[in-house]
Structure 1
Amino acid sequence: MVDGYDFSGRVVVITGGANGIGAATARAAAAAGATVVVLDLNEETGKALAAEHAGITFHRLDVSDHDEVQTAIALVAAEHGRIDGLVCCAIVQPLIPVLEMTPDKLSRVLDINLGGVVWASKAVAPVMARQNSGSIVYFASGTADFGKPHSSPYTASKGAVAGFAHTFAKEVAPYGVRVNLCRPGVIDTPQYRVSNPDADYSKIDKPEDAVGPVMFLLSDFATMTNSIVTREGTLPRTPRTFP
Structure 2
Amino acid sequence: MPPPPKQYFNDYAGVVSPETAARLNTTLEQFERDTSSQVVVAIFPKMQSDSSIEDYTVRVAQSWRVGQKGTDNGAVLFVFVQDRAMYLQVGYGLEGALPDALCKRIIEDIIKPHFRNGDFDAGLTAGVEAIIAAAKGEYKGTGRTAAGSTGDALTRLKREIEYRDRVEAVFAMVLVLFIVFVFLAVRRSVVYGPGGRSHWDDWFGGGFGGGGFSGRGWGGGGFSGGCGGGGFVGGGGSFGGGGAGGRW
**What is the TM-score with the length of structure 2 in the denominator?**
0.30
**What is the TM-score with the length of structure 1 in the denominator?**
0.31
Larger radius of gyration: 2
Larger RCO: 1 or 2 (CA < 8 Å, sep 6+): 2
